[in-house]
Structure 1
Amino acid sequence: MHTFMAVYETGSVKAAAEALHVTPSAVSAAIAALESALGTTLFAKAGRGIVPTDASETFATYVRKLLGLLAEAAGAVQDAERGRVRIGAVATASEYVLPRLIASFAREHPQIELSLSVLPRDELFSLASDHAVDVVLAGRPPHGSGLVTRARRANRLVLVGRPEIRGDPRTTTWLLTALGSGTRETTLALLTRLQAAPPLLTLGTAGAAVAAAREGLGVTLVHEEAVREQLEAGELASYPVTGTPLDRPWHLCTTSEPTAATRLFLRHVCARERVGSAAFHTRHRPKG
């Protein structure tokens, strides 16, 4: 299955072999054996390369879940203190929320292996549903995802821009994060409620949007924690248009059966005596 996914994701037997540190013939043999077992063709020739068949596309959705479950199962049978926690977080949370929590946890539990994936919100929830990460730090999980919010922490989105913007901030350029970002979706929903249609400029990351706002290119909706220092220094100003600031708590989400090490991590980050003001709380735990 690992070999199949390597070929599927790279689109090349040679590239898959390099990624897996095996020979191309070994990769071809593994794919041939898998096709024989399944009774179907997984890859078809296209010019000098190969492309996945419809059967391959379907099989890949199952393989992701199977590999995720195998990794989760390996962690589940280990003692909590010898396990691992695969964390997924959106960029802003990884920069301003997680560092203190991870550092504190690592000091108390040095034998637990930690890993961090920083991706857009939608990709993270997809990985969590496929059991490819153990815990996600982002906004609220989408309905129907099967994910459970284990803890939350207060968070606000504020509209910021260069000080002394002339005119109505609703008509100036609004700076957006990339597709798949929860902040982008919230920004567009806010503009719809305001019945505003300002110029839009997509800059990818929240950091890039904030930097552009600081240079006077427009305004951007951003997590307050990410710009607190710039606001206090007068480099940015907050513009309280109707509907802002927005309460958008951080959510720590897992599948319905988190591993022992994951539960230990969740207990740690909710312990105020361990992490201080960075602590999450376990009240009101909605399901996705």
Structure 2
Amino acid sequence: MPGLDLPAAATWGRLTTFLAVYETGSVRAAADQLHVTPPAVSAAIAALDAALGTPLFGKSGRGIIPTDAGETFAGYVRKMLGLLAEAAGAVRDADRGRVRIGAVATASEYVLPPLMASFIDEHPHVELSLSVLPRDELFARARDHAVDLVLAGRPPRLSGLVTNARRPNRLVLVGRPGLKTDPLTATWLLTGLGSGTRDTALSLLTRLQASPPLLTLGTSGAVVAAACQGLGVTLVHEAAVRAQLDSGELVSYTVPGTPMDRPWQLCTTSEPTSATRLFLAHVCDPGRVGAAAFHTRHRPQG
């Protein structure tokens, strides 16, 4: 489509198609994801190439990879699609909008479910969605307006994002009762690459000049299960092992620097949508969510 300018070419469908190809690395995979034919995907990319005057993808073996122009364009496309989705939610009444939540894995399993259930009971017409990703990726998506609210264990390092509310939380070192060795020489069980808890555990070991055996198991649930089987010790969010600590299946061990205060943070852009503000007000109300409530001012726990 020579001569087609970018505003005319950059339809929602073409931009969504471009991002699907960019993220999957394949025209066929993007077509499957979007439920269209591969020729339709190729035509959408060709229209954008023509409008921009440069190819967005190049061949690499049997697949394709983004060109430098494609990498640059992807950042803008994420922002544009995110802003359009945010705008659609912003113009609706708060009680009929939507909230796109992003959370780290542990928070998605142990913190969010009762809050989401309580909110849906009171606001059944608000659409909630949840993305579970590493913390830095979540904050990048919030900056790009691809999620409305992030729940993580450390505050954002990106400008334009603010922490609206917190809830006390600790990282504790746990293992089976009766550990027969110093916790700093026992095997340390780690979550996967990109996990903030993993990074914190490795930083702690570096500060303590300790070099125990390490075993990476992926998810928080996997490391807790391994600790229960006596495979080692793990630094974990207290909420993730509350039941095991109460039953005596696991016990906490202390090394210098533990337990660590690591409050849960609810973060948004500086101008959250009305539906996002409604969600924040709900989860900060003890009358609605009880002891699970967040608060708008950090109160150190003694």
Instruction: Give, in angstroms, the shift of residue 284 of structure 1.
Output: 4.8
Identity across aligned pairs (percent)?
78
* Aligned residue in 2 for 1:65: 79
Give the Cα separation in 2 of the matches to 1:23 and 1:226: 44
User: 1 or 2 for the larger relative contact order (CA 8 Å, sep ≥6)?
Assistant: 1
Count, aligned residues: 285
Q: Is 1:228 aligned to 2:213, yes or no? A: no
1:158–1:222 CA contact under 8 A, matched in 2? yes
Gaps of at least 5 residues in structure 2 are: 1-14
2:176 pairs, out of 162, 168, 189, with: 162
Instruction: Give, in angstroms, the shift of residue 179 of structure 1.
Output: 1.3
2:161–2:269 CA contact under 8 A, matched in 1? yes
Instruction: Give, in angstroms, the shift of residue 47 of structure 1.
Output: 4.3
2:68 pairs, out of 31, 54, 59, with: 54
Q: Is 1:139 aligned to 2:156, yes or no? A: no
2:156–2:162 CA contact under 8 A, matched in 1? no
Structure 1 residue runs of 4 or more that deviate by more than 6 Å after TM superposition: none
* Aligned residue in 1 for 2:116: 102
Give the Cα separation in 1 of the matches to 2:60 and 2:221: 41
RMSD, aligned α-carbons: 1.5
2:37 pairs, out of 23, 26, 29, with: 23
1:125–1:145 CA contact under 8 A, matched in 2? no
1:42–1:53 CA contact under 8 A, matched in 2? yes
Name the CA shift for 1:233/1:147 in 2 (closer, same or farther; >3 Å). same
Give the Cα separation in 2 of the matches to 1:45 and 1:31: 14
* Aligned residue in 1 for 2:165: 151
1:223-249 residue CA offsets vs partner (Å, 9 max, x unmatched): 111111111211111101111111000
* Aligned residue in 1 for 2:204: 190
Q: Is 1:241 aligned to 2:247, yes or no? A: no
Q: Is 1:271 aligned to 2:276, yes or no? A: no
1:190-246 residue CA offsets vs partner (Å, 9 max, x unmatched): 112212111111111111111111111110001111111111211111101111111
Give the Cα separation in 1 of the matches to 2:59 and 2:245: 57
Instruction: Give, in angstroms, the shift of residue 168 of structure 1.
Output: 0.8
1:151–1:280 CA contact under 8 A, matched in 2? yes
Gaps of at least 5 residues in structure 1 are: none
1:5 pairs, out of 12, 15, 19, with: 19
1:171–1:197 CA contact under 8 A, matched in 2? yes
